Amino acid sequence: MLKIAKDKLPQLLQAWAAGARVFVPQEKDGTRVFLPWDGQGKLTLDEGNTLEPPKDLFFPRTETMYRYQVQGQEAGVTEVPPFDAKMVLVGVRSCDARSFAIMDDVFLTKGYVDEFYRRRRENTRVVALACTEAAPTCFCTTFGIDPGRAEGVDVQMWPLADGYLLEVVTEAGQELLEQGTGLLTDAGKEEIPAAAKPGLVVDIDGVTAKLQRMFEHPYWTAVSRKCLGCGACTYLCPTCHCFDIQGENRGNSGYKFRCWDSCMFSEYTRMAGGHNPRPSKKERLRNRFLHKLQYFPERYGKFACVGCGRCLDRCPVNVDITRVIREVKEVTL
Amino acid sequence: MSKPRVAVYKMSSCAGCQLEIINLEPILLDLLGAVDLSYFVMARRENEPGPYDIGLVEGAITCGEEIERLKKARQECHLLVALGSCACYGGLPSIKNWQPQRVVENRVYDNLAAIHSTTAYGIDYYVPVDAYLKGCPVSREELLDFIKSTLLGVRPYLRPHSVCVECKLHENVCLFVTEKAICLGPVTTAGCGALCPSRGKPCDGCRGPANDANAVSLARTMAAYGLHSQDIVRYFRKFAGMTSEFSKGAEAV
């Protein structure tokens, strides 16, 4: 176990930034977001989780897939050079670390590997930060996530009053900490601080089985009545991963790109002929909850919610997934 | 093959949407290489008669004479497009629709003898419309995308979802949730690139209702934020009060 003093942390980030792009929560417009470390920003590691999840580092909002050009009767496609920069992601909370495992399931398993995602994911080292305080909207323990220790990361950090404890988890993490020689000291008798205890806990036992019988239930009409369909929940969700593919053309050349989409929008499911299998907000909102709590567990054996609380914190009309889970369990069939 | 011919008509409007066509300046010459602006009174001294391939109609319909001109435009254009929120829904001129005609006219004109105004409607109240380019003024990018797609013979991508989407893509801090500012973004059609919220100003709803806009729920939240019911009415009637979606918002509280 190693320790770094709070005022030495920027130097450690600087050391990592020499060989990689370092992303760390910093202040921007009064909120906290993962930004590239340039030595100037104001770190917000001790102020709770970021407003936006770090998923866009692996799955950018928009990403060019290939370019094409036409000359006379000839047409050609130019591949986009593969992403090969190294990244270090610092200050990832346990909930967001779980979301990486969920995104991996989507993009890397079941017979298809998404190369765009894989290159970014494999080039990234993750340094997690344990939570010692929970926000009122946190409910990660509901999904068996330990706020005090993240899964699938390279280095685990814990906050102390005057610094951070660091523990190596993987070989790649070992290499990272070797770059900090001189800044890190032995932790000695420092104790790992107690993990946060989120007050919001939901009982999810049997919710998947219940939902399997609720597809046609009038409950969805009731819950969708106040939804604005703005899609804020899907953009802020660390596990939402739907995208659309569009093209941009000028003259004889152009490019195809993919961009985030959302199941909360009608055009997401609208067919070329105009038919829409999810014609109203009811079907779309239902899909969002069923995907997180029924379809994903059926396909991958885990819930696609990590209890980060961003959607319930930021919904303009307070559609609350924890309340939906509770109400679903109370519905009589 | 001759170039497609485009006509631009003006009804009751401020001419700001037509100005946006001229404001395409950096690529205007490219555009003129692809289409002929055959009828465009604001920009041409001499205009050519129809028929035209694309007709862009700006402005709301507020008097009988405009109904006549609109029907003629429909006859001479293969595609008829509502250019801007006035042509789409009645826009700003439709604010007058909730007061008696004579009261409104009296406030503006000295001599009412020559004034024969009617309720302000979007153009689709009178004629079939092929496409709606929303906004006050229209978005240049969307206008250009529409013309490009039409030339390519593909369906233009006119965004049906809310302004929130573009705000999220710009990584803006939410004015509505974070700063409790009254923002119509959640119910307003995207396509402007979240122009106002990206500059710290809440959305005024100038592009009219998004697909499946839930104005009732938004109006209730606005009331919960402490906005007076009369102000909620003003918000929803500013640009698109004639639409069924926004009128539900105006009547919700």
H or E segment to which residue A159 belongs: strand A155-159
Q: How confident is the model at residue B113 (pLDDT cuts 50, 70, 90)?
A: confident
Using CA coordinates, name the residue in chain B closest to A231.
Answer: B165
d(CA B253, CA B251): 6
Q: Across the interface, which of A51, A226, A262 has its CB nearest the CB of B217?
A: A226
For residue B180, how many other CB atoms are within 10 A of its CB? 12
Residue where one domain finishes, among candidates B133, B152, B171? B152
Q: How confident is the model at residue A333 (pLDDT cuts 50, 70, 90)?
A: confident
Cβ contact (<8 Å) for B173 and A314?
no
Contacting residues for B114 by C-beta, under 8 A, at least 6 apart = none
Q: Does the residue B192 lie in any domain?
A: yes
Q: Does the residue B58 lie in any domain?
A: yes
For residue A74, how many other CB atoms are within 10 A of its CB? 7
d(CA B186, CA B207): 12
Average pLDDT over residues A321-329: 95
Contacting residues for A139 by C-beta, under 8 A, at least 6 apart = A198, A200, A201, A202, A307, A309, A322
Using CA coordinates, name the residue in chain B closest to A270.
Answer: B160
Write down the H helix ranges in chain A: 9-17, 94-108, 115-122, 171-178, 207-211, 219-224, 232-236, 266-269, 281-290, 296-300, 310-314, 321-330
Q: Which domain CATH number covers B146?
A: 3.40.50.700
Q: Does the residue B49 lie in any domain?
A: yes
- Between the CA of residue B242 and those of A284, B83, B88, what are the distances in Å? 27, 17, 10
Q: Does the residue B105 lie in any domain?
A: yes
Average pLDDT over residues A123-143: 96
Residues of chain B neighbouring A51 (CB-CB closer than 8 A): 173
Average pLDDT over residues A216-243: 93
Q: A69 to chain B nearest CA, in Å? A: 16
pTM of the model: 0.86
Using CA coordinates, name the residue in chain B closest to A268.
Answer: B161
Asked whether the beta carbons of A35 and A41 are under 8 A apart, the reply is yes
A316 touches chain B (CB under 8 A): yes
Average pLDDT over residues A173-196: 92
Q: Does the residue B157 lie in any domain?
A: no
Q: Token pair for residue B250? A: 């105006």
Report ipTM for this prediction: 0.78
Q: Is A157 left (phi over 0), alpha (psi -120 to 50) or beta?
A: beta
Same domain for B99 and B194: no
Q: Which one of A51, A221, A230 makes the best mutation probe of the B interface by having the most chain B beta carbons within 10 Å?
A: A230
Using CA coordinates, name the residue in chain A closest to B209.
Answer: A228
Q: Judge whether residue B156 has pLDDT over 80.
A: yes
Percent of chain B with pLDDT over 70: 100
- Of residues B155 and B192, more confidently modeled: B192
Same domain for B186 and B145: no
For residue A35, how many other CB atoms are within 10 A of its CB? 18
Q: Token pair for residue B236? A: 């929803």
| Predicted local confidence at residue B50, as pLDDT | 84
Mean pLDDT of chain A: 94
Average pLDDT over residues A121-140: 96
What is the C-alpha end-to-end distance of chain B, expressed in Å? 57
Q: Judge whether residue A31 has pLDDT over 90.
A: no
Q: Judge whether residue A128 has pLDDT over 90.
A: yes
Same domain for B245 and B185: yes
Same domain for B121 and B232: no
Q: Does the residue B205 lie in any domain?
A: yes
Same domain for B148 and B214: no
Average pLDDT over residues A9-34: 93
Q: Which one of A228, A278, A285 makes the best mutation probe of the B interface by having the most chain B beta carbons within 10 Å?
A: A228
pLDDT digits (tens, 9 = 90+) for B12-22: 999 999 999 99
Q: Token pair for residue A46? A: 């001790």
Which of these, A23, A241, A2, lies nearest to A125 by C-alpha position? A23
Same domain for B114 and B206: no
Q: Judge whether residue A158 has pLDDT over 90.
A: yes
Residue where one domain finishes, among candidates B121, B152, B183? B152
Same domain for B177 and B142: no
Q: A14 to chain B nearest CA, in Å? A: 26
Cβ contact (<8 Å) for B161 and A226?
no
Same domain for B142 and B26: yes
Same domain for B201 and B122: no
Give the structural domain span for B106: 5-152
Same domain for B127 and B13: yes
Q: Which one of B174, B222, B225, B253 makes the best mutation probe of the A interface by having the most chain A beta carbons within 10 Å?
A: B174
Average pLDDT over residues B59-73: 96
| Predicted local confidence at residue B125, as pLDDT | 97
Residue spans of beta strands (DSSP E) within B59-178: 61-63, 77-83, 117-121, 131-133
Q: Judge whether residue B116 has pLDDT over 90.
A: no
**Amino acid identity, position A201:** V
Give how many domains chain B has, as a whole number: 2
Q: Judge whether residue A307 has pLDDT over 80.
A: yes
Q: Judge whether residue B173 has pLDDT over 90.
A: no
Same domain for B172 and B59: no
Same domain for B204 and B88: no
Average pLDDT over residues A152-172: 95
Q: Does the residue B158 lie in any domain?
A: no
Residue where one domain finishes, among candidates B152, B184, B213? B152
Q: How confident is the model at residue B157 (pLDDT cuts 50, 70, 90)?
A: confident
Q: Does the residue B41 lie in any domain?
A: yes
| Predicted local confidence at residue B194, as pLDDT | 95
Q: Judge whether residue B1 has pLDDT over 70.
A: no
